[in-house]
Amino acid sequence: MRIDRFLSQNRIIELKSRDFAAALGELLDVALPAGTPAAMRDTLRRTLEERQASMPTSVGGNYITVPNVVAMIDPPFVFAVGRLPDAEPVVPAPEPAAPAPAEGAPVPAVPPAEAAPRAPVAGTLNAGPRIIFLVLASSKTRMYHRVLSEIAHALADADFLTRIRGAASLKDFRAEISKLLKGVSRQAQDHESGMNRLIGKAAQRLARGTKCSVMLMFADTFRTPPLLEHFVYPTFKVVIVSEENYDFHSDAGEKPEVITVRSFGNHRMSQLRAAMFIGLMRGIIRPSDRVCCIGGTSRSNRLDSVLVIDVANEFPTVMTSRANDLVPQKVRPEVLERTIALATELAVEGREGKPVGTMFVVGECEKIRPHTRPLLLNPLSGFAREDRNITGAFVEETVKELALIDGAFVIDHDGVIDSAGSQITATYPGAKPPLASGYGTRHAAAWAISKAVDCAAVVVSASGQITLFRHGEPIVLLERSASRTI
Protein backbone atom coordinates (compact mmCIF):
# COMPACT_ATOMS: atom_id res chain seq x y z
CA MET A 1 0.00 0.00 0.00
CA ARG A 2 1.26 3.48 -0.87
CA ILE A 3 0.94 5.04 2.57
CA ASP A 4 2.73 8.22 1.50
CA ARG A 5 -0.48 9.37 -0.22
CA PHE A 6 -2.16 9.75 3.18
CA LEU A 7 0.14 12.58 4.29
CA SER A 8 0.09 15.94 2.52
CA GLN A 9 2.74 18.60 3.08
CA ASN A 10 0.36 20.92 4.94
CA ARG A 11 -0.09 18.21 7.58
CA ILE A 12 3.60 18.38 8.54
CA ILE A 13 3.81 21.34 10.91
CA GLU A 14 5.85 23.08 13.58
CA LEU A 15 3.96 22.73 16.84
CA LYS A 16 3.41 25.75 19.03
CA SER A 17 2.12 23.92 22.09
CA ARG A 18 4.22 22.20 24.74
CA ASP A 19 1.28 20.57 26.44
CA PHE A 20 0.57 17.10 24.93
CA ALA A 21 -3.21 17.59 24.78
CA ALA A 22 -2.84 20.97 23.08
CA ALA A 23 -0.30 19.53 20.61
CA LEU A 24 -2.77 16.77 19.71
CA GLY A 25 -5.38 19.46 19.16
CA GLU A 26 -3.09 21.23 16.68
CA LEU A 27 -2.49 18.02 14.75
CA LEU A 28 -6.19 17.11 14.70
CA ASP A 29 -6.97 20.56 13.33
CA VAL A 30 -4.86 19.88 10.23
CA ALA A 31 -5.72 16.17 9.96
CA LEU A 32 -9.51 16.37 10.07
CA PRO A 33 -11.45 17.87 7.16
CA ALA A 34 -13.00 21.31 7.48
CA GLY A 35 -16.42 21.18 9.07
CA THR A 36 -15.63 18.28 11.39
CA PRO A 37 -17.83 18.68 14.50
CA ALA A 38 -15.97 19.98 17.53
CA ALA A 39 -17.43 17.15 19.61
CA MET A 40 -15.80 14.54 17.35
CA ARG A 41 -12.45 16.35 17.50
CA ASP A 42 -12.58 16.54 21.30
CA THR A 43 -13.56 12.88 21.59
CA LEU A 44 -10.61 11.84 19.42
CA ARG A 45 -8.23 14.01 21.44
CA ARG A 46 -9.41 12.53 24.75
CA THR A 47 -9.18 9.00 23.37
CA LEU A 48 -5.64 9.61 22.13
CA GLU A 49 -4.64 11.03 25.52
CA GLU A 50 -6.07 8.04 27.37
CA ARG A 51 -4.39 5.55 25.03
CA GLN A 52 -1.07 7.36 25.35
CA ALA A 53 -1.30 7.38 29.14
CA SER A 54 -2.06 3.65 29.32
CA MET A 55 0.22 2.51 26.52
CA PRO A 56 3.03 4.88 25.45
CA THR A 57 3.97 4.69 21.78
CA SER A 58 7.47 6.17 21.79
CA VAL A 59 10.11 5.06 19.28
CA GLY A 60 13.67 6.12 18.55
CA GLY A 61 14.76 6.44 22.14
CA ASN A 62 11.67 8.44 23.11
CA TYR A 63 12.44 11.03 20.40
CA ILE A 64 9.20 10.28 18.48
CA THR A 65 5.76 9.25 19.69
CA VAL A 66 3.07 7.70 17.48
CA PRO A 67 -0.41 8.28 18.97
CA ASN A 68 -3.00 6.34 16.98
CA VAL A 69 -6.73 5.69 17.01
CA VAL A 70 -9.49 4.22 14.85
CA ALA A 71 -11.91 6.91 13.68
CA MET A 72 -14.98 7.33 11.47
CA ILE A 73 -13.12 8.71 8.45
CA ASP A 74 -13.49 7.98 4.73
CA PRO A 75 -9.87 7.37 3.62
CA PRO A 76 -8.15 4.29 5.04
CA PHE A 77 -5.61 6.47 6.88
CA VAL A 78 -4.87 10.11 7.67
CA PHE A 79 -1.45 11.13 9.01
CA ALA A 80 -0.29 14.38 10.60
CA VAL A 81 3.21 15.10 11.91
CA GLY A 82 4.28 17.84 14.27
CA ARG A 83 7.69 18.90 15.58
CA LEU A 84 8.07 20.54 18.95
CA PRO A 85 10.18 23.71 19.12
CA ASP A 86 13.58 23.47 20.77
CA ALA A 87 13.19 22.81 24.47
CA GLU A 88 13.62 25.81 26.68
CA PRO A 89 16.32 25.74 29.38
CA VAL A 90 15.04 24.10 32.49
CA VAL A 91 15.06 26.47 35.43
CA PRO A 92 16.37 24.79 38.58
CA ALA A 93 13.97 24.56 41.44
CA PRO A 94 14.92 26.88 44.32
CA GLU A 95 16.55 25.20 47.27
CA PRO A 96 14.40 25.20 50.37
CA ALA A 97 15.74 27.57 52.97
CA ALA A 98 17.77 25.78 55.62
CA PRO A 99 16.47 26.17 59.14
CA ALA A 100 18.38 28.74 61.14
CA PRO A 101 20.73 27.16 63.65
CA ALA A 102 19.77 27.40 67.28
CA GLU A 103 21.24 30.28 69.19
CA GLY A 104 24.75 29.46 70.29
CA ALA A 105 24.97 26.27 68.16
CA PRO A 106 28.02 25.89 65.91
CA VAL A 107 27.48 26.50 62.21
CA PRO A 108 28.37 23.34 60.19
CA ALA A 109 31.24 23.92 57.79
CA VAL A 110 29.61 21.93 54.98
CA PRO A 111 29.70 23.41 51.46
CA PRO A 112 26.26 24.06 49.97
CA ALA A 113 25.00 21.24 47.77
CA GLU A 114 24.65 21.83 44.03
CA ALA A 115 21.14 22.62 42.94
CA ALA A 116 19.44 19.48 41.56
CA PRO A 117 17.57 19.81 38.28
CA ARG A 118 13.81 20.06 38.49
CA ALA A 119 11.84 16.99 37.46
CA PRO A 120 9.78 17.45 34.31
CA VAL A 121 6.20 18.50 34.86
CA ALA A 122 3.66 15.82 34.05
CA GLY A 123 1.68 16.53 30.89
CA THR A 124 4.37 18.64 29.22
CA LEU A 125 6.64 17.67 26.36
CA ASN A 126 9.85 19.48 27.34
CA ALA A 127 11.58 16.32 28.56
CA GLY A 128 9.66 13.92 26.31
CA PRO A 129 9.30 13.25 22.56
CA ARG A 130 10.33 15.89 20.09
CA ILE A 131 8.13 14.68 17.17
CA ILE A 132 4.49 13.55 17.24
CA PHE A 133 3.38 11.31 14.35
CA LEU A 134 -0.44 11.10 14.51
CA VAL A 135 -2.16 8.15 12.84
CA LEU A 136 -5.92 8.12 12.25
CA ALA A 137 -7.21 4.84 10.78
CA SER A 138 -10.62 4.23 9.24
CA SER A 139 -12.85 1.73 11.02
CA LYS A 140 -13.21 -0.03 7.64
CA THR A 141 -9.53 -0.67 6.99
CA ARG A 142 -8.14 -4.16 7.51
CA MET A 143 -4.49 -3.06 7.50
CA TYR A 144 -4.39 -0.89 10.62
CA HIS A 145 -1.87 -2.87 12.67
CA ARG A 146 0.31 -3.74 9.71
CA VAL A 147 0.67 -0.12 8.56
CA LEU A 148 1.24 1.06 12.14
CA SER A 149 4.00 -1.51 12.57
CA GLU A 150 5.69 -0.47 9.31
CA ILE A 151 5.62 3.21 10.31
CA ALA A 152 7.00 2.55 13.81
CA HIS A 153 9.78 0.38 12.41
CA ALA A 154 10.79 3.04 9.88
CA LEU A 155 10.71 5.85 12.47
CA ALA A 156 13.07 3.91 14.74
CA ASP A 157 15.74 3.64 12.03
CA ALA A 158 19.04 5.13 13.27
CA ASP A 159 19.87 6.83 9.95
CA PHE A 160 16.46 8.47 9.80
CA LEU A 161 16.79 9.73 13.38
CA THR A 162 20.15 11.26 12.55
CA ARG A 163 18.75 13.01 9.47
CA ILE A 164 15.59 14.23 11.17
CA ARG A 165 17.59 15.70 14.07
CA GLY A 166 19.65 17.61 11.52
CA ALA A 167 16.63 19.03 9.68
CA ALA A 168 16.90 22.67 10.70
CA SER A 169 14.08 24.20 8.64
CA LEU A 170 10.45 23.15 8.23
CA LYS A 171 11.16 22.52 4.55
CA ASP A 172 13.94 20.06 5.42
CA PHE A 173 11.75 18.43 8.08
CA ARG A 174 8.92 17.91 5.58
CA ALA A 175 11.33 16.50 3.01
CA GLU A 176 12.68 13.90 5.46
CA ILE A 177 9.21 12.77 6.57
CA SER A 178 8.00 12.49 2.95
CA LYS A 179 11.12 10.54 1.97
CA LEU A 180 10.57 8.17 4.89
CA LEU A 181 6.96 7.35 3.91
CA LYS A 182 7.85 6.90 0.25
CA GLY A 183 10.51 4.43 1.32
CA VAL A 184 8.02 2.49 3.46
CA SER A 185 5.56 2.41 0.53
CA ARG A 186 8.25 1.19 -1.87
CA GLN A 187 9.35 -1.58 0.51
CA ALA A 188 5.75 -2.71 1.02
CA GLN A 189 5.09 -2.74 -2.73
CA ASP A 190 8.30 -4.68 -3.40
CA HIS A 191 7.33 -7.21 -0.73
CA GLU A 192 3.80 -7.57 -2.13
CA SER A 193 5.07 -7.93 -5.70
CA GLY A 194 7.61 -10.55 -4.68
CA MET A 195 5.04 -12.50 -2.72
CA ASN A 196 2.53 -12.30 -5.58
CA ARG A 197 5.09 -13.57 -8.09
CA LEU A 198 5.93 -16.52 -5.84
CA ILE A 199 2.28 -17.46 -5.38
CA GLY A 200 1.61 -16.96 -9.08
CA LYS A 201 4.43 -19.35 -10.01
CA ALA A 202 3.31 -21.85 -7.36
CA ALA A 203 -0.25 -21.72 -8.73
CA GLN A 204 1.05 -22.40 -12.24
CA ARG A 205 3.05 -25.43 -11.04
CA LEU A 206 0.02 -26.70 -9.11
CA ALA A 207 -2.24 -26.23 -12.14
CA ARG A 208 0.15 -28.23 -14.31
CA GLY A 209 0.55 -30.96 -11.71
CA THR A 210 -3.22 -31.35 -11.25
CA LYS A 211 -3.89 -31.11 -15.02
CA CYS A 212 -6.02 -27.96 -14.83
CA SER A 213 -7.21 -26.46 -18.10
CA VAL A 214 -8.41 -23.07 -16.78
CA MET A 215 -6.76 -20.42 -14.59
CA LEU A 216 -9.42 -18.31 -12.80
CA MET A 217 -7.97 -15.01 -11.53
CA PHE A 218 -9.91 -12.84 -9.05
CA ALA A 219 -9.06 -9.30 -10.16
CA ASP A 220 -10.68 -7.59 -7.17
CA THR A 221 -7.74 -8.83 -5.08
CA PHE A 222 -5.87 -5.89 -6.64
CA ARG A 223 -6.63 -2.20 -6.32
CA THR A 224 -5.45 -1.45 -9.85
CA PRO A 225 -6.03 -3.72 -12.87
CA PRO A 226 -2.58 -3.22 -14.49
CA LEU A 227 -1.07 -5.50 -11.83
CA LEU A 228 -2.78 -8.40 -13.58
CA GLU A 229 -0.56 -7.94 -16.60
CA HIS A 230 2.31 -9.50 -14.63
CA PHE A 231 0.47 -12.83 -14.44
CA VAL A 232 0.65 -14.54 -17.81
CA TYR A 233 -0.35 -18.18 -18.24
CA PRO A 234 0.04 -18.88 -21.97
CA THR A 235 -0.60 -22.63 -21.67
CA PHE A 236 -3.97 -22.21 -19.90
CA LYS A 237 -7.24 -20.58 -20.70
CA VAL A 238 -7.25 -17.47 -18.48
CA VAL A 239 -10.53 -16.22 -17.04
CA ILE A 240 -10.71 -12.96 -15.07
CA VAL A 241 -13.44 -12.45 -12.44
CA SER A 242 -14.09 -8.85 -11.46
CA GLU A 243 -16.78 -6.49 -10.24
CA GLU A 244 -15.76 -4.07 -13.00
CA ASN A 245 -15.86 -4.82 -16.71
CA TYR A 246 -12.22 -3.94 -17.38
CA ASP A 247 -10.58 -4.52 -20.74
CA PHE A 248 -7.80 -6.78 -19.50
CA HIS A 249 -5.11 -7.95 -21.86
CA SER A 250 -2.32 -10.48 -21.74
CA ASP A 251 1.24 -9.99 -22.94
CA ALA A 252 1.29 -13.54 -24.25
CA GLY A 253 -1.35 -15.99 -25.33
CA GLU A 254 -4.93 -15.15 -26.19
CA LYS A 255 -6.89 -12.34 -24.58
CA PRO A 256 -8.44 -13.48 -21.27
CA GLU A 257 -12.18 -13.87 -20.86
CA VAL A 258 -13.79 -11.54 -18.31
CA ILE A 259 -16.74 -12.50 -16.11
CA THR A 260 -18.32 -9.60 -14.25
CA VAL A 261 -19.77 -10.66 -10.89
CA ARG A 262 -20.61 -8.52 -7.88
CA SER A 263 -18.61 -9.39 -4.78
CA PHE A 264 -20.30 -10.18 -1.48
CA GLY A 265 -18.19 -8.61 1.27
CA ASN A 266 -14.41 -8.95 1.53
CA HIS A 267 -14.28 -12.73 1.64
CA ARG A 268 -11.76 -14.44 -0.59
CA MET A 269 -13.26 -15.72 -3.83
CA SER A 270 -16.81 -14.85 -2.75
CA GLN A 271 -17.78 -14.61 -6.45
CA LEU A 272 -16.60 -18.15 -7.19
CA ARG A 273 -19.82 -20.12 -7.70
CA ALA A 274 -21.66 -17.37 -9.56
CA ALA A 275 -18.63 -16.83 -11.82
CA MET A 276 -18.31 -20.53 -12.59
CA PHE A 277 -22.01 -20.82 -13.38
CA ILE A 278 -21.83 -17.85 -15.77
CA GLY A 279 -18.69 -19.35 -17.30
CA LEU A 280 -20.53 -22.63 -17.89
CA MET A 281 -23.52 -20.77 -19.26
CA ARG A 282 -21.37 -18.84 -21.76
CA GLY A 283 -19.32 -21.88 -22.71
CA ILE A 284 -16.10 -20.35 -21.35
CA ILE A 285 -15.82 -23.20 -18.84
CA ARG A 286 -16.75 -26.77 -19.72
CA PRO A 287 -18.26 -29.38 -17.38
CA SER A 288 -15.15 -31.52 -17.76
CA ASP A 289 -12.72 -28.70 -16.83
CA ARG A 290 -10.54 -28.61 -13.76
CA VAL A 291 -10.06 -25.00 -12.66
CA CYS A 292 -7.18 -23.48 -10.69
CA CYS A 293 -8.44 -20.38 -8.83
CA ILE A 294 -6.04 -17.75 -7.52
CA GLY A 295 -6.96 -14.72 -5.41
CA GLY A 296 -6.85 -12.99 -2.05
CA THR A 297 -8.73 -10.58 0.17
CA SER A 298 -10.52 -7.89 -1.80
CA ARG A 299 -8.35 -4.79 -2.54
CA SER A 300 -5.44 -6.14 -0.47
CA ASN A 301 -3.00 -6.30 -3.42
CA ARG A 302 -1.86 -9.66 -2.05
CA LEU A 303 -2.45 -13.09 -3.51
CA ASP A 304 -2.73 -15.62 -0.69
CA SER A 305 -5.09 -18.38 -1.82
CA VAL A 306 -4.93 -21.08 -4.51
CA LEU A 307 -7.84 -23.47 -4.99
CA VAL A 308 -8.30 -26.34 -7.47
CA ILE A 309 -11.90 -27.22 -8.37
CA ASP A 310 -13.44 -29.95 -10.50
CA VAL A 311 -16.43 -28.35 -12.20
CA ALA A 312 -18.31 -31.66 -12.27
CA ASN A 313 -18.09 -31.90 -8.47
CA GLU A 314 -19.03 -28.28 -7.81
CA PHE A 315 -22.41 -28.38 -9.56
CA PRO A 316 -25.19 -31.01 -9.73
CA THR A 317 -24.72 -33.80 -12.27
CA VAL A 318 -27.90 -32.86 -14.08
CA MET A 319 -26.35 -29.47 -14.81
CA THR A 320 -22.86 -30.49 -15.86
CA SER A 321 -23.92 -33.44 -17.96
CA ARG A 322 -26.01 -31.12 -20.11
CA ALA A 323 -24.08 -27.85 -20.15
CA ASN A 324 -26.13 -26.49 -23.02
CA ASP A 325 -29.21 -26.96 -20.83
CA LEU A 326 -28.11 -24.53 -18.15
CA VAL A 327 -30.07 -21.83 -19.96
CA PRO A 328 -33.73 -22.53 -20.79
CA GLN A 329 -34.56 -22.93 -24.48
CA LYS A 330 -35.05 -19.66 -26.37
CA VAL A 331 -33.70 -17.64 -23.39
CA ARG A 332 -30.79 -15.42 -24.33
CA PRO A 333 -27.78 -16.13 -22.03
CA GLU A 334 -27.27 -12.41 -21.35
CA VAL A 335 -30.83 -12.23 -19.98
CA LEU A 336 -30.16 -14.88 -17.33
CA GLU A 337 -26.75 -13.35 -16.62
CA ARG A 338 -28.29 -9.90 -16.08
CA THR A 339 -30.95 -11.45 -13.83
CA ILE A 340 -28.26 -13.05 -11.67
CA ALA A 341 -26.39 -9.73 -11.52
CA LEU A 342 -29.51 -7.86 -10.29
CA ALA A 343 -30.22 -10.64 -7.79
CA THR A 344 -26.65 -10.30 -6.48
CA GLU A 345 -27.00 -6.53 -6.08
CA LEU A 346 -30.22 -7.00 -4.10
CA ALA A 347 -28.55 -9.63 -1.90
CA VAL A 348 -25.55 -7.41 -1.23
CA GLU A 349 -27.22 -4.01 -0.89
CA GLY A 350 -30.82 -4.74 0.12
CA ARG A 351 -33.15 -1.81 -0.37
CA GLU A 352 -33.41 1.31 1.76
CA GLY A 353 -31.14 -0.29 4.32
CA LYS A 354 -33.30 -3.39 4.70
CA PRO A 355 -32.72 -6.97 3.47
CA VAL A 356 -34.84 -8.01 0.49
CA GLY A 357 -36.25 -11.39 -0.49
CA THR A 358 -37.65 -11.92 -3.99
CA MET A 359 -37.75 -14.31 -6.96
CA PHE A 360 -37.15 -14.07 -10.71
CA VAL A 361 -38.59 -16.66 -13.12
CA VAL A 362 -36.95 -16.58 -16.56
CA GLY A 363 -38.39 -18.51 -19.51
CA GLU A 364 -41.15 -18.40 -22.11
CA CYS A 365 -43.94 -16.35 -20.58
CA GLU A 366 -46.65 -18.18 -22.55
CA LYS A 367 -45.69 -21.38 -20.70
CA ILE A 368 -45.15 -19.73 -17.30
CA ARG A 369 -48.37 -17.65 -17.08
CA PRO A 370 -50.71 -20.65 -16.51
CA HIS A 371 -48.76 -21.39 -13.33
CA THR A 372 -49.03 -17.88 -11.86
CA ARG A 373 -51.65 -15.45 -10.66
CA PRO A 374 -51.32 -11.76 -9.82
CA LEU A 375 -51.19 -10.71 -6.18
CA LEU A 376 -51.88 -7.10 -7.21
CA LEU A 377 -52.41 -5.05 -10.35
CA ASN A 378 -49.37 -5.50 -12.54
CA PRO A 379 -47.23 -2.38 -11.92
CA LEU A 380 -45.46 -2.84 -15.28
CA SER A 381 -48.61 -2.98 -17.36
CA GLY A 382 -48.82 -0.32 -20.07
CA PHE A 383 -45.06 0.26 -20.43
CA ALA A 384 -43.39 -0.30 -23.79
CA ARG A 385 -41.46 -3.58 -24.14
CA GLU A 386 -38.12 -1.83 -24.53
CA ASP A 387 -38.76 0.15 -21.32
CA ARG A 388 -39.19 -3.00 -19.25
CA ASN A 389 -36.37 -5.11 -20.62
CA ILE A 390 -34.11 -6.32 -17.82
CA THR A 391 -31.01 -5.75 -19.94
CA GLY A 392 -31.90 -2.07 -20.37
CA ALA A 393 -29.88 0.65 -18.69
CA PHE A 394 -32.77 2.32 -16.86
CA VAL A 395 -34.82 -0.59 -15.52
CA GLU A 396 -32.50 -1.48 -12.62
CA GLU A 397 -33.94 0.93 -10.05
CA THR A 398 -37.51 -0.03 -11.00
CA VAL A 399 -36.75 -3.71 -10.42
CA LYS A 400 -35.08 -3.00 -7.07
CA GLU A 401 -38.06 -0.93 -5.92
CA LEU A 402 -40.62 -3.53 -7.01
CA ALA A 403 -38.60 -6.25 -5.25
CA LEU A 404 -40.02 -4.91 -1.98
CA ILE A 405 -43.48 -6.21 -2.83
CA ASP A 406 -44.46 -9.86 -2.40
CA GLY A 407 -44.42 -12.19 -5.36
CA ALA A 408 -42.13 -13.02 -8.26
CA PHE A 409 -40.90 -11.27 -11.39
CA VAL A 410 -41.76 -13.17 -14.57
CA ILE A 411 -39.23 -12.46 -17.32
CA ASP A 412 -39.69 -13.49 -20.94
CA HIS A 413 -36.98 -15.23 -22.98
CA ASP A 414 -35.93 -11.94 -24.61
CA GLY A 415 -35.56 -10.10 -21.29
CA VAL A 416 -38.90 -8.27 -21.19
CA ILE A 417 -40.35 -8.27 -17.66
CA ASP A 418 -43.88 -9.59 -18.11
CA SER A 419 -45.11 -9.03 -14.55
CA ALA A 420 -44.10 -8.28 -10.98
CA GLY A 421 -45.84 -9.35 -7.77
CA SER A 422 -46.96 -12.69 -9.22
CA GLN A 423 -47.80 -15.69 -7.08
CA ILE A 424 -46.42 -19.03 -8.28
CA THR A 425 -49.17 -21.66 -8.25
CA ALA A 426 -47.24 -24.47 -9.95
CA THR A 427 -47.37 -27.95 -8.48
CA TYR A 428 -45.56 -31.08 -9.57
CA PRO A 429 -47.82 -34.16 -9.33
CA GLY A 430 -46.64 -36.85 -6.99
CA ALA A 431 -43.52 -35.02 -5.89
CA LYS A 432 -42.55 -33.30 -2.69
CA PRO A 433 -39.84 -30.63 -2.79
CA PRO A 434 -36.62 -32.37 -1.64
CA LEU A 435 -35.34 -29.20 -0.03
CA ALA A 436 -32.98 -28.92 2.90
CA SER A 437 -34.07 -27.33 6.17
CA GLY A 438 -33.95 -23.57 6.08
CA TYR A 439 -35.62 -23.25 2.70
CA GLY A 440 -39.05 -21.58 2.78
CA THR A 441 -42.13 -21.25 0.60
CA ARG A 442 -40.29 -19.06 -1.93
CA HIS A 443 -37.79 -21.85 -2.55
CA ALA A 444 -40.57 -24.45 -2.73
CA ALA A 445 -42.35 -22.34 -5.36
CA ALA A 446 -39.11 -21.95 -7.33
CA TRP A 447 -38.56 -25.72 -7.19
CA ALA A 448 -42.10 -26.39 -8.43
CA ILE A 449 -42.07 -23.92 -11.35
CA SER A 450 -38.65 -25.15 -12.51
CA LYS A 451 -39.99 -28.73 -12.52
CA ALA A 452 -43.25 -27.84 -14.28
CA VAL A 453 -41.84 -25.52 -16.95
CA ASP A 454 -38.55 -25.19 -18.83
CA CYS A 455 -37.37 -22.09 -16.95
CA ALA A 456 -34.78 -20.85 -14.47
CA ALA A 457 -35.98 -19.56 -11.09
CA VAL A 458 -33.58 -17.31 -9.17
CA VAL A 459 -34.38 -16.84 -5.47
CA VAL A 460 -32.93 -14.05 -3.33
CA SER A 461 -33.28 -14.80 0.39
CA ALA A 462 -33.51 -12.06 2.98
CA SER A 463 -30.36 -13.59 4.51
CA GLY A 464 -28.41 -12.69 1.35
CA GLN A 465 -28.28 -16.15 -0.23
CA ILE A 466 -28.97 -16.60 -3.95
CA THR A 467 -30.23 -19.96 -5.21
CA LEU A 468 -30.96 -20.84 -8.83
CA PHE A 469 -33.40 -23.69 -9.55
CA ARG A 470 -33.20 -25.60 -12.81
CA HIS A 471 -35.25 -28.78 -13.40
CA GLY A 472 -35.87 -28.82 -9.65
CA GLU A 473 -32.13 -28.81 -8.84
CA PRO A 474 -31.02 -26.01 -6.45
CA ILE A 475 -27.69 -24.36 -7.27
CA VAL A 476 -26.40 -22.01 -4.58
CA LEU A 477 -24.68 -19.13 -6.38
CA LEU A 478 -23.99 -16.95 -3.37
CA GLU A 479 -24.34 -17.74 0.28
CA ARG A 480 -23.80 -15.61 3.31
CA SER A 481 -22.67 -18.45 5.53
CA ALA A 482 -19.06 -18.05 6.61
CA SER A 483 -18.62 -21.80 6.28
CA ARG A 484 -18.05 -21.44 2.55
CA THR A 485 -15.61 -18.56 2.73
CA ILE A 486 -11.86 -18.83 3.10
**Mean pLDDT of the chain, nearest integer:** 80
What DSSP string runs through 379-403?
TTTTS-GGGGBTTSTTSHHHHHHHT
Using DSSP's 3-state secondary structure scheme, residue 138 falls into strand
Nearest to 373 by CA among 349, 407, 403: 407
Burial class (CB in 10 A: 0-12, 13-18, 19+), 161: middle
Q: Quick check: pTM over 0.75?
A: no
The Cα-based distances of 31 to 1, 14, 21, 28, 182 in angstroms read 20, 14, 15, 5, 19
Classified as helix, coil or strand, 470 is strand
* Residue 355 near residue 464 (C-beta atoms within 8 A): yes
- Asked whether the predicted pLDDT for residue 449 surpasses 70, the reply is yes
CB-count exposure of residue 163 (10 Å: 0-12, 13-18, 19+): middle
Cα–Cα distance for residue pair 350/429, rounded to 1 Å? 35
Q: What is the pLDDT of residues 105-134, one digit of tens each?
A: 555 554 444 444 444 444 444 456 789 999
With vertex at residue 358, the alpha carbon angle to CA 370 and CA 365, rounded to the nearest 5 degrees, is 25
Residue 224, φ and ψ in degrees, nearest 5? -130, 130
Q: Work out the average pLDDT over 221-227.
A: 65
Mean pLDDT of 84-93: 50
Which residue in 79, 73, 74, 19 sits closest to 49, CA to CA? 19
Mean pLDDT across 33-62: 86
Kindly report, residue by residue over 249-291, the tens digit of the pLDDT.
555 456 788 888 877 655 667 788 888 888 988 889 988 899 9
Closest alpha carbon to 117 in 129, 126, 130? 126
Please determine, for residue 89, whether its predicted confidence score (pLDDT) is greater than 50: no
pLDDT of residue 128: 60
Q: Which range has the worst mean pLDDT, 136-150, 292-306, 436-450?
A: 136-150
